Amino acid sequence: MSATSAEHATPLLLSPESVNPLVAAARPDPSAGTRARPQPRRLIVAITGATGVAYGVRLLQFMREMPEIESHLLISDAGVLNLHQELDMRRKEVEALADVSYNVRDVGASIASGSFQSDGMIVAPCSMKTLAAVANGLSDNLITRAADVVLKERRRLTLMVRETPFNLAHLRNMTSVTEMGGIIFPPLPGFYHRPKSINEMIDHTVGRVLDLYGITHTLTPRWAGMKADSKMDT
């Protein structure tokens, strides 16, 4: 090739694919014409040893009927005891309601990392032991570690604390969790909607929790103002 023809030759362009064939293999094919499925909303549900396991079970039952929600379940040993005591349910029955279940001792599970994307966590019910651990950053099991991750990643953590009456330690721990960005949600039943059964009382509370995560539901009627006949004596 002459010097003149060399000067006018088309320059050699090196693409990443030509240098490393692995790049070409990893690059999506624009002709495929397929879209990735949207990732479902992920919610972590933990059931601990406080009374009120029906709240956690009802949450899981609701999420089971919502294909756009992916539920991740944790049950403490004391929570299993309460499932037996309060609902005559076994661990496997409750785990079957969730999309993914974890051993509470598996601190190396995916939800123990902030890189695991979720919409938050609900502890239903939340024992005072779990509350104290979360308030003081003690990641002694996968429940408290997952809660710690949700807080540090600035996601929504809701603790349905169940105890009465509260002592000063309980109140201070609830204050600490609130200051860290968590939500303290005692499952106190409402009566303005005139519930006719325990199930309606549970659904009302569960519905209010779902509201915190922007999840649409029809578990309980919305307040529409005071009835006219209720104002007659005022």
Q: Parse the chain into domains and list their residue ranges.
A: 41-212
Question: Is there a binding annotation on residue 50?
Answer: yes
Question: Is there a binding annotation on residue 160?
Answer: no
**Domain range 41-212, its CATH number among 3.30.420.40, 3.40.190.10, 3.40.50.1950, 1.10.150.120:** 3.40.50.1950
What is the residue-wise DSSP string for 37-78? PPPPEEEEEEE-SSS-HHHHHHHHHHHHT-TTEEEEEEE-HH
Question: Is there a binding annotation on residue 207?
Answer: no
CA distances from 26 to 13, 18, 32, 186 (A): 20, 13, 14, 49
Question: Is there a binding annotation on residue 102?
Answer: no
Whether the predicted model's global pTM rises above the 0.85 cut: no
Question: Is there a binding annotation on residue 133?
Answer: no
Question: Is there a binding annotation on residue 129?
Answer: yes
Question: Is there a binding annotation on residue 194?
Answer: no
Question: Is there a binding annotation on residue 192?
Answer: yes
Say which residues have a Cβ less than 8 Å from residue 121's Cβ, sequence separation at least 6.
43, 44, 45, 46, 146, 147, 150, 155, 156, 157, 158
Question: Is there a binding annotation on residue 145?
Answer: no
Tens-level pLDDT at each residue, the chain (234 residues):
555 554 555 554 555 555 455 554 555 555 555 555 678 899 999 999 999 999 999 999 999 999 999 999 999 999 999 999 999 999 999 999 999 999 999 999 999 999 999 999 999 999 999 999 999 999 999 999 999 999 999 999 999 999 999 999 999 999 999 999 999 999 999 999 999 999 999 999 999 999 999 999 999 889 888 876 666 666
Question: Is there a binding annotation on residue 71?
Answer: no
**Rounded to an integer, what distance in angstroms lies between the CA atom of residue 136 and that of residue 144?**
10
Question: Is there a binding annotation on residue 156?
Answer: no
